[in-house]
């Protein structure tokens, strides 16, 4: 009975016990001799990837750079979905609403106020945060399929507003957004310069989200996801914690929308439609929820399939995405991120089941 009266501060200072180790990512005592080596390789791998991404405009033409820019902006949206779905256990189909709020706000700022990209990104962040704060308090009180349906309703409502409101162009969208500038400099007309701006912001957002996930607040979210009654008994307030991460995810999605608008210089109701929300959730499932970098890989895969395969295979891009989804669920239950630990585990389990059959 002592645990039930333990203060939240004492619980945060105490090492997590066995039921919470999976939620907090604590694997002490289970890592083998390769764990330190793996910990040393991870920063080097991240630095190598960042170096390659930075150098991409120096060796690639405008079209692939434009594609990579879209992937980076979409990956920021996917990070917001991973915060809710992978880290907190709240599957959502509504993040496109906050993505669209950020995109429309950034476009309006660019058209009527200033083309400065930093101001537009901050405006998109604020729009996503405020919109999530207004809609999240009711949504986070639900669970499972009810939460999923509530977020879907939020997304569809936002899409309907964008499609019918003349102030934002209604069904025609917002066009005429000028090329972005940085801190009063000249317009960034070259695709490479826009790409570098989007890359810098996307990396900063990724780092901020990673810090949150690894913080005591992030461990609290994982604990609520895996054992909410225990966390409530320890003195935590699950609804308040979920509301906080819902607002944070809305702000992240808003930044992604601002980056999308800065690249496309055009925003339409399709940018906050069901397809965008579904593709973002699919990216998290394919990449591996909760890992952050896995869903970013999933975002790249999903956008490449959606934008490049349909023309070459007669418009069957959604079919290919469906097959990829089924293959990942069957062969990689933890998504692409699971390849880092046990790439052959699902196949070995399948083989073991076949061998045990009489």
DSSP labels, 288-317: -TT-SHHHHHHHHHHHHHHHHHHHHTTS-H
Categorize the per-residue pLDDT at 37 as very low, low, confident or very high, splitting at 50, 70 and 90.
low
Averaged confidence pLDDT in the chain:
82
Residue 324 has pLDDT above 90, yes or no: no
With left for phi above 0 and alpha for psi between -120 and 50, is residue 288 left, alpha or beta?
A: left
Q: Specify which residues 174 forms β-bridges with.
A: 267
Task: Give the residue with greater pLDDT, 13 vs 60.
Answer: 60
Alpha carbons 151 and 139: distance in angstroms, whole number: 7
Categorize the per-residue pLDDT at 227 as very low, low, confident or very high, splitting at 50, 70 and 90.
confident
- pTM for the whole structure: 0.82
pLDDT average, residue stretch 102-121: 94
pLDDT on residue 313 = 63
Q: Point out the least confidently predicted range of 1-10, 83-92, 255-264, 284-293.
A: 1-10
- Residues 278, 321 contacting (CB under 8 angstroms): no
Categorize the per-residue pLDDT at 356 as very low, low, confident or very high, splitting at 50, 70 and 90.
low
pLDDT average, residue stretch 232-252: 91
Beta-carbon contacts of residue 235 (< 8 Å; ≥ 6 apart)? 6, 7, 8, 11
Q: Point out the least confidently predicted range of 84-98, 181-195, 233-247, 327-341.
A: 327-341
pLDDT average, residue stretch 57-74: 93
Alpha carbons 140 and 146: distance in angstroms, whole number: 10
pLDDT digits (tens, 9 = 90+) for 148-167: 999 999 999 999 999 999 88
Residue % of the chain over a pLDDT of 90? 45
pLDDT on residue 25 = 41
Alpha carbons 333 and 293: distance in angstroms, whole number: 16
Residue 267 has pLDDT above 60, yes or no: yes
Task: Give the residue with greater pLDDT, 68 vs 343.
Answer: 68
pLDDT average, residue stretch 104-132: 94
Alpha carbons 129 and 115: distance in angstroms, whole number: 21
Residue 174 phi/psi, 5-degree rounding, is -105, 115
Pure H helices in the chain: 8-13, 18-24, 34-59, 62-82, 95-112, 117-139, 144-164, 191-214, 216-226, 228-233, 238-264, 274-287, 293-312, 317-331, 345-356
Helix, coil or strand: residue 184:
coil
Alpha carbons 289 and 285: distance in angstroms, whole number: 6
Residue 1 has pLDDT above 60, yes or no: no
* Residue with tokens 């660019």, as numbered in its chain: 110
Task: Give the residue with greater pLDDT, 77 vs 325.
Answer: 77
Alpha carbons 177 and 268: distance in angstroms, whole number: 12
Residue 344 has pLDDT above 60, yes or no: no
pLDDT on residue 317 = 62
Beta-carbon contacts of residue 54 (< 8 Å; ≥ 6 apart)? 196, 199
Categorize the per-residue pLDDT at 9 as very low, low, confident or very high, splitting at 50, 70 and 90.
very low
pLDDT average, residue stretch 336-353: 55
């Amino acid at each position: 009975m002592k645990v039930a009266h333990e203060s939240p501060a004492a619980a945060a200072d105490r090492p997590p016990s066995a039921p919470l180790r999976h939620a907090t990512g604590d694997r002490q005592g289970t890592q083998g001799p390769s764990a330190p080596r793996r910990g040393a390789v991870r920063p080097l791998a991240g630095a190598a990837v960042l170096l390659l991404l930075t150098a991409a405009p120096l060796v690639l033409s405008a079209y692939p750079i434009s594609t990579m820019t879209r992937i980076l902006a979409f990956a920021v949206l996917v990070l917001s979905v991973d915060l809710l779905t992978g880290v907190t256990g709240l599957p959502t189909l509504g993040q496109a609403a906050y993505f669209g709020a950020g995109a429309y706000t950034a476009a309006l700022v660019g058209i009527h106020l200033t083309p400065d990209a930093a101001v537009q990104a901050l405006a998109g962040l604020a729009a996503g945060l405020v919109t999530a704060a207004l809609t999240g308090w009711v949504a986070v009180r639900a669970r499972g399929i009810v939460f999923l349906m509530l977020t879907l309703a939020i997304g569809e409502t936002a899409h309907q507003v964008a499609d019918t409101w003349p102030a934002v162009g209604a069904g025609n969208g917002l066009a005429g957004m000028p090329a972005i500038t940085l801190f009063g400099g000249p317009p960034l007309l070259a695709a490479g310069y826009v790409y570098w701006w989007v890359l810098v912001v996307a990396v900063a957002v990724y780092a901020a989200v990673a810090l949150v996930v690894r913080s005591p607040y992030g461990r609290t979210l994982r604990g609520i996801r895996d054992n909410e009654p225990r966390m409530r008994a320890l003195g935590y307030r699950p609804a308040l914690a979920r509301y906080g991460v819902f607002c944070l995810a809305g702000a992240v999605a808003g930044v992604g929308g601002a980056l999308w608008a800065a690249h496309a210089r055009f925003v339409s109701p399709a940018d906050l439609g069901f397809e965008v929300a579904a593709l973002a959730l699919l990216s998290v499932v394919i990449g591996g929820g909760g890992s952050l970098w896995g869903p970013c890989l999933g975002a790249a895969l999903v956008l490449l399939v959606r934008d490049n395969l349909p023309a070459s295979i007669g418009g069957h891009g959604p079919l290919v995405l469906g097959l990829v989804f089924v293959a990942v669920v069957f062969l990689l239950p933890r998504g692409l991120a699971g390849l880092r630990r046990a790439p052959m585990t699902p196949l070995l389990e399948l083989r073991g089941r076949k061998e045990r059959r009489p």
